[in-house]
Structure 1
Amino acid sequence: MRTVTLIQGDGIGPEIIDSVKEIFKAAKVPIQWEEENAGQTTYEASGELIPQSLVDSINANKVALKGPITTPVKGGFRSINVQLRQMFDLYQNLRPCKSTPGVNSRFDNVDLVLFRENTEGLYSGLEIYDARLEMADSIARITKEGSVRIIKAAFEYARRNGRKKVTLVHKANILKHIGKIFLDAGMEVAEDYPGIAVDDKIIDNMCMQLVIKPEQFDVVVTTNLFGDILSDLGAGLVGGLGLVSGANIGDEIAIFEAVHGSAPDIAGKNMANPTAIIRSALLLLNYLELNDYHDAINTALQATLANKDECTADLGGSAGTSEFTQNIIKKLK
């Protein structure tokens, strides 16, 4: 039995996390949950945005599943997601984007995996604000070490999963120094993987190519801000954020999460689509090498998504969160 830290989050977080718990229980997955939380709800209760008990739990268990946590716009606290990634050095943000049979989307032939560097770039937190001048500077810090390790992670994934090509995404034509560091690191790493093709795309061209011919891409790796943008673009190609999984992975610790927001406007109304968090939990099962459980749940989920009547309203169905969950459970074998 493996213990996994469980972070409900807020908004629709508790509802969609409950969906995972019910499905895992029905599938008899050998996992026990250690429940913690973070964010505004936790702060109001304990005065801590990220409680020490949560930090201790993640350090002990090495694996966590996290629901969405609201991040205030403009003022308020800094993103809990970013803080957790930096706290545990979760430098790999993994985002598969694959077309789902039965789900309406612009394309039906997308099958790409995005690797986003998770701890550097414009999200490093290196910001200076001059109130007198009403001016701010934000520093995009890129290191050779950080670039090498995320690019190596992308190539390792490609090799393990039979992927044929890795695309490096950058802005080296304008951002000369950080672009050169990233591109040079990519070509250096590629030499160790002669069976995998490598190419590169400038970020603006990459966005255009994704909405014209996304099937040309296999594994994509890029820096933090570009990856943040591309990951949502990729989700849009396959039906939206409610359908895609996400993982934040380091050398020792991994946190799997729903990549969409907390949707407070529908919280508690049994309307939320739990597919994204279910798929993130499936990534967790693969990470823990519980592949038989992964396959059984994934088959049941795919069969449910293929039947629009059994899906939530955002997918064209009439099922609530709990009904959608039961539809999956009924198909478990």
Structure 2
Amino acid sequence: MRKHTVTLIAGDGSGPELVAAARTVLDTAAGSAGFHLDWDVRPAGQGALRSVGELLPASTLDSIRRNGVALKGPTTTPIGVGHRSVNITIRRELDLYACVRPVRVWPGAGAVDSGIDVVVVRENTEDVYSGLEYPADSDGAAVVSATLSEFGHADPGIAFSLKPITPGGSRRIVAFALDHARKNGRRKVEVGADVYRYPRTEGLFFEAARELGPEYPDIVTATVPVTVLCDSLVRDPADRDVLVLPNLYGDVISDVTAALVGGLGMAPGANIGDRTAVFEATHGSAPEFAGSNRLNPTALILSGCMLLDHLGEAPTAARIRAAVRSVLEEGRSVTFDLLPPDRAARAVTTTAYAEAVIERLRDIG
């Protein structure tokens, strides 16, 4: 039996029970397909901080580097105590420069348009999420302020959040989006940025699109002001195909597109680099639901499907997606977020939902 070793991070809040549900589905599907998922369980997040004194232990990063892939539950980063986001640290340490968030319609989830099938590709390591933020009166702010004051652009007492964007980073994320479109039979890639306000930084995305587009004659490559892109998502979301954006816009727009098809509970995601990839749902840890066994595990199950695609197990991923679709179509064994308020009492648990998906997997064969 062939084997894939995968780092597994349960995360915080609702993460452990969602990861457990997804793991059960993935293990069942793998076993019936003749391969084994060997889970290398590692800590990260607030639980890790309590148990080992670090939000992100070096051993967890080493595990991902060694195995090449990870499935990750949502983690919580303490606010205001000097800790850096676990997600941002993982992406930067492993150079996971491409965040891929497919958004499609699923039965019963409340999509605003039945034709939505979009992939948001977000640059993951630059822009304002690069961690270069300095509170007012900090040493870092003083250095930045002193430098800018030489050009007459700064006053004392200012806080700074820097927005580094490089030509190389812009070029590789646009190339990634074009490659993704070609590999997956997509027809169009739209590059969104605000070149009017940020011509020297976000303008690099448009330059990369103009340079690389001719190398992909089978793909329509377009540059779109991000404000126009947002308008088009409201007016005609089904006409969008692949969107590639700087880090901040990509984060916001991927959440907006998820809302168009029912919310973050239906939105899987992947953070991909040249050597490693981490697969995770796009929602947060929802600590208020920790231990409740009530939340929707679909996003994490579908993130597991992306993991299987990455591992070359696409037929098994397709079987899981078909099982999920069948459960959602029937609508009998779904979590409370997928039901109208007057039927919420009929909702099943996280565990029961996963069991229903497994039962459909057995029916599919």
Query: Which structure 2 residues correspond to residues 142-291 of structure 1 after superposition, within 5 A?
Result: 142-291=165-314
Could you tell me which amino acid in structure 2 is paired with residue 298 of structure 1?
R
**Which segments of 5 or more consecutive residues in structure 1 lack a partner in the other structure?**
none
Name 1:325's counterpart in structure 2: 354
Given candidates 19, 22, 30, the residue that maps to 2:24 is 22
Distance 1:264 1:128 in 2: 28
Shifted more, 300-309 versus 72-81: the winner is: 72-81
Could you tell me which amino acid in structure 2 is paired with residue 321 of structure 1?
T
**Which segments of 5 or more consecutive residues in structure 2 lack a partner in the other structure?**
139-155, 340-345
Distance 1:26 1:40 in 2: 30
Distance 2:202 2:322 in 1: 41
Distance 2:321 2:72 in 1: 19
SS in 2 for 1:262: coil
- The CA deviation string for residues 208-265 of structure 1, in whole angstroms up to 9 with x for no partner, is 2101101111000010001011110110111000001100000010000111011111
- Cα deviation for residue 26 of structure 1 reads 1.8
Name 1:69's counterpart in structure 2: 75
CA contact (8 A) 1:7 1:66 kept: yes
SS in 2 for 1:10: coil
CA contact (8 A) 1:7 1:38 kept: yes
Distance 1:324 1:95 in 2: 23
Whether 1:82 and 2:88 are equivalent positions in the alignment is: yes
Given candidates 115, 118, 129, the residue that maps to 1:109 is 115
- Cα deviation for residue 76 of structure 1 reads 4.7
Distance 1:262 1:134 in 2: 35
Whether 1:294 and 2:301 are equivalent positions in the alignment is: no
Name 2:152's counterpart in structure 1: none
SS in 1 for 2:135: strand
Name 1:60's counterpart in structure 2: 66
Whether 1:2 and 2:8 are equivalent positions in the alignment is: no
Query: Which structure 2 residues correspond to residues 304-319 of structure 1 after superposition, within 5 A?
Result: 304-316=327-339, 318-319=347-348
- Cα deviation for residue 103 of structure 1 reads 2.1
CA contact (8 A) 1:286 1:294 kept: yes
- Cα deviation for residue 191 of structure 1 reads 1.4
CA contact (8 A) 2:26 2:304 kept: no
- The CA deviation string for residues 281-313 of structure 1, in whole angstroms up to 9 with x for no partner, is 000000011012112111111111112221100
Whether 1:91 and 2:97 are equivalent positions in the alignment is: yes
CA contact (8 A) 1:103 1:306 kept: no
Shifted more, 147-156 versus 196-205: the winner is: 196-205
- Cα deviation for residue 131 of structure 1 reads 2.5
- Cα deviation for residue 73 of structure 1 reads 4.1
Distance 1:177 1:298 in 2: 42
Distance 1:15 1:161 in 2: 32
Number of equivalences: 333
CA contact (8 A) 1:128 1:136 kept: yes
Q: Percent identity?
A: 41
- The CA deviation string for residues 48-83 of structure 1, in whole angstroms up to 9 with x for no partner, is 111122122111101000000013344452210000
CA contact (8 A) 2:108 2:338 kept: no
Shifted more, 126-135 versus 4-13: the winner is: 126-135
Name 2:106's counterpart in structure 1: 100
SS in 2 for 1:310: coil
Distance 1:254 1:261 in 2: 19
- The CA deviation string for residues 155-195 of structure 1, in whole angstroms up to 9 with x for no partner, is 00111111110001000011121132111111111111011
CA contact (8 A) 1:98 1:110 kept: yes
- The CA deviation string for residues 7-47 of structure 1, in whole angstroms up to 9 with x for no partner, is 00010111011111211222215211000011111111111
- Cα RMSD over matched residues? 1.3
Structure with higher Rg: it is 2
Distance 1:271 1:62 in 2: 31
Distance 2:330 2:82 in 1: 42
CA contact (8 A) 2:123 2:245 kept: yes
SS in 2 for 1:9: coil
Distance 2:55 2:197 in 1: 38
Name 1:50's counterpart in structure 2: 56
- Cα deviation for residue 134 of structure 1 reads 4.6
Distance 1:107 1:74 in 2: 40
Distance 2:350 2:182 in 1: 37
Distance 1:106 1:134 in 2: 46
Could you tell me which amino acid in structure 2 is paired with residue 130 of structure 1?
A
Distance 2:273 2:280 in 1: 14
CA contact (8 A) 2:10 2:72 kept: yes
Shifted more, 239-248 versus 103-112: the winner is: 103-112
